Amino acid sequence: MKKYFLRIQPRDYQLEAAKWALSKRKAVVVMPTGSGKTLIAVIWSKELLERNQVNKILFLEPTRILVEQVAKYLEKTLGIRSQAIHGKYHPSKRRELWRKTRIAVATPETALNDLRYIVENKYDAIVIDECHHTTGKDAYAKFMEATGAMFKWKLGLSAHIPVSRRKDIEKYIGTIRTWSWSDERIRKYVPEWIGEIYEAELNNEEKKLLEILEETRLSYTGKYRGLVNLAIRWFVRDGALALKESLEKETILASILSHIRPMLERPGIRPLHKLDALKRIISDHEGFNKAIVFVDRVIVARKIAEELYYLNPVMIIGKTKLREDLRRVLRKAHDLKTKLVISTSAGEEGIDLPEADLLVIWSNVASPLRFIQRHGRILRLTGRKGLKFVTYIVTPDTPDMDSLIDSLELAKRWGVDIPVDESVLKELWRRTTRNRILIVLSGRPMPAEWIAELINMPLDMVLKGIKRLKDKGMVIYIYTYLGKTYVLPEDLEILYEQYSEYLEPDLSLVARIKPYIDNEELKAVTGTYEFVKRKMMRLLRKCGCFSKLSASLQVPLETGALQQVFLHYTFKIESEEVLDTVLKNIFSAKKYVDVLYK
């Protein structure tokens, strides 16, 4: 019998939950976010695999981000290879992946599409994460209904099961048991409030509209390009309704985008593409006392109030501030019958908004001050009365995701502890517009100008995106005849194949290397390649990472003169492979010095 070893020490309540779920065969564990539900699923899977009671296990996750995250977590905690399977792969490739892996992680949409592969490969155990989605017309429910009695073992995980969904979840999955956040064993691991991210994907028609807006942007420079950028932001952040309103006024922007206006009337373009996500949030957090939704546009606030009329909504907008009836509006906001407060920036400061246990950020802003002011509406409570939730609605693969990531990171720097897992943030980075850069760079090192041309993005925006990716260590570069040639760290082998002459160190050259950690300059190392490499590797092992690295050396020219060369590698260096690549590039300066100083 094969043994699997947990690489993380489980807590007693996690072992208790896993043992209970195994005894039931088909069970649902309800436990607060932050308490480590995924480890319960790992323990559960480990036991079944060791006992040879199952053939293959399927993990269902609601988003591609979580699919990738959980696949990595399984490998980290159990040491068993698991495969993330989603729409990124061609169906023929997915068929092969379903066959080869013993533990697969997928979205319910992908699992539904690939049901025949799951059946033919005899998957007989399933973990349904965020299983509160298993109702109605959701893909979770469709998949569970389609598979019927196929899975002999079922484990559902959720932080909260609304009362109205219990019957369906018990029918599709199994017996429900709740471990409360007030349990003293659990409470210390659960933050004062929980941060959750809901994705609001653009449909195909909306994606086409976004592409046209981006193509239009390339036709302009300066102020006019900035105006088109603003239009793109309104569309992906607030919705087509906000963009349509902006184009109804006689402005330069309306003139530039006159060809866009008819497209906004097409049936496939939703007025508010984030509305479905907001409704999911309201449904998922059934039983909340009061919710506050922050939006940036009055027209969006009015549309939300119209759609969610059954929550007795009240709007606090800029115009309200000027009226004498502000007191009446605030009285209604504080009324227990009012379940939903919709606020523009007017409610971010200076107004006594009611106490809320659910905060929804519809319009993501990169301003740390506004971000913190909004969160203050839920963080100001004294004494713990129960869990509070902050939910962010974001349009993936657009500048809206960029704004969310930037605001989360800025807030952390300002000292606001955002309880969104670091690994989730890392995966979210791959859903930003910067992801386009990562995609075109995958397997193809190239300069920034080529990237800009391939992704139809202005060069200045590409360089800004590259800077953020460099800071994360997700993109590096070397100097070649093309200038700075960017590459993904995982594609170093390709770099060596295509640009080998720029990675062949001249063993006679002497260079002075200065490593940095943040803005602190460490002691410089001077010498030939082999000497510098030895010293720098030792230093990297000691420090763990360099934030950047500078070099200076004298390169002999054909004339016999010496050229003083200064090189700067302004990206995160975490691995010895990347460091050695940089050092080899420095000591190969003879090959590209003409390009640098022409």
CATH architecture of the domain 12-190 equals: 3-Layer(aba) Sandwich (3.40)
Instruction: Give the C-alpha separation, 52 to 47, whole Å.
Output: 9
Nearest to 460 by CA among 211, 209, 220: 220
pLDDT, residue 332, reads: 86
- Please count the other Cβ atoms lying within 10 Å of the Cβ belonging to residue 99: 11
pLDDT digits (tens, 9 = 90+) for 46-96: 999 999 999 999 999 987 767 888 888 898 898 888 899 987 778 888 899
Whether the per-residue pLDDT at 540 is higher than 90: the answer is: yes
User: Among 298-312, 354-368, 565-579, whose mean pLDDT is lowest?
Assistant: 354-368
Pair 144, 134: CB distance under 8 Å: yes
Residues 6+ apart with CB under 8 A from 144: 128, 134, 172, 173
321 pLDDT above the threshold of 70: no
Phi/psi of residue 512, nearest 5 degrees: -110, 120
- For 566-591, write each residue's pLDDT tens digit: 999 999 999 999 999 999 999 999 88
Provide the pLDDT for residue 173: 94
CA–CA dist 156, 139 (Å, integer): 15
pLDDT of residue 81: 83
Determine the average pLDDT of the residues in 306-320: 85
Across 207-211, 223-227, 557-561, which has the greatest mean pLDDT? 207-211
pLDDT number for residue 382: 39
Tell me how many degrees the CA angle 388-391-393 measures, rounded to the nearest 5: 170
The DSSP H or E segment spanning 376 is: helix 368-379
Q: Which of 6-20, 327-341, 565-579 has the lowest mean pLDDT?
A: 327-341
What is d(CA 352, CA 366) in angstroms, rounded to the nearest whole number? 24
**Using an 8 Å Cβ cutoff, are 224 and 255 in contact?**
no
Q: Is the pLDDT of residue 348 over 50?
A: no
Q: What is the pLDDT of residue 69?
A: 80
Query: Does residue 294 surpass a pLDDT of 60?
Result: yes
Predicted local confidence at residue 98, as pLDDT: 94
**375-378, long-range: CB < 8 A, 24+ apart:** 375/411, 375/416, 377/292, 377/347, 377/353, 378/193, 378/292
- pLDDT for 299 beyond 80: yes
Task: Identify the pLDDT of residue 596.
Answer: 67
Query: What's residue 546's pLDDT?
Result: 94
Residues 6+ positions from 471 with CB-CB distance below 8 Å = 571, 572
Q: For residues 402-413, give the mean pLDDT.
A: 77
In this structure, which long-range contacts are made by residues 561-564, counting pairs with CB atoms below 8 Å and at least 24 apart in sequence?
Answer: 563/593, 563/597
**How would you classify the pairing of strands 56-60 and 123-128?**
parallel
Tell me the chain's radius of gyration from C-alpha atoms: 27
Q: Is pLDDT larger for residue 434 or for residue 393?
A: 393
Q: Binning pLDDT at 50, 70 and 90, where does residue 302 land?
A: very high
The mean pLDDT value for 539-563 works out to 89
Q: Is the pLDDT of residue 324 over 90?
A: no
209-213, 417-421, 424-428, 488-492: lowest mean pLDDT where? Answer: 417-421
User: What does each C-alpha distance from 111 to 59, 95, 107, 168 come to in angstroms?
Assistant: 10, 11, 6, 20
Fold equal for 12-190 and 192-432: yes
pLDDT over threshold 90, residue 2: no
Which pLDDT score is estimated for 378?
Answer: 54
pLDDT at 323 over 70: no
Continuous segment of H or E residues that includes residue 198: strand 193-199
Question: What pLDDT is recorded for position 501?
Answer: 93
Say which residue the tokens 């839920």 belong to.
378
Q: Do the beta carbons of residue 363 and residue 407 sit within 8 Å? A: no
Counts of helices then strands in the chain (DSSP H, E): 27, 20
pTM > 0.75: yes or no: no
Options 3.30.1490.70, 3.30.460.10, 3.40.50.2000, 3.40.50.300; CATH for 192-432 is 3.40.50.300
For residue 12, the model assigns a pLDDT of 93
Q: At residue 265, what is the residue type?
A: E
What residues form DSSP beta bridges with 516? Answer: 521, 548
- Boundaries of every domain in the chain: 12-190, 192-432, 450-596
**DSSP state letter for 231:** H
Q: What is the pLDDT of residues 117-155, one digit of tens each?
A: 999 999 999 999 988 888 777 788 899 999 988 999 999
Q: Which of 365, 414, 373 is nearest to 394 (CA)?
A: 365
Q: d(Cα 530, Cα 485) in Å, to the nearest integer?
A: 24
- Half-sphere exposure of residue 201: CA atoms within 13 angstroms, side-chain side: 7
- Segment holding 375, helix H or strand E: helix 368-379
- Say which DSSP state 235 is in: I
| pLDDT value of position 200 | 93
Work out the pLDDT band at 192, boundaries 50, 70, 90.
low
Percent of the chain with pLDDT over 70: 88
At 89-119, the pLDDT tens digits run 788 888 999 999 999 999 899 999 999 999 9
Residue count (the chain):
598
Return the SS3 of 250.
Answer: coil
Query: What is the mean pLDDT of the segment spanning 513-530?
Result: 93
Amino acid identity, position 130: E
pLDDT for 384 equals: 46
> What is 10-69 written as a DSSP string?
--HHHHHHHHHHHHHSEEEEE--TTS-HHHHHHHHHHHHHHTT--SEEEEE-SSHHHHHH
Tell me the residue type at 215: E
If phi over 0 gives left and psi between -120 and 50 gives alpha, with beta otherwise, what is residue 313?
beta
DSSP H/E element including 83:
strand 82-85
Q: What percent of the chain has pLDDT over 90?
A: 53
Residue 444 reports pLDDT greater than 60:
yes
Average pLDDT estimate for 457-472? 89
Burial of 305 (0-12, 13-18, 19+ CB in 10 A): middle
Q: How much is the average pLDDT of 340-346?
A: 82
pLDDT at 473: 86
Closest CA to 583 of 518, 537, 524, 538: 537
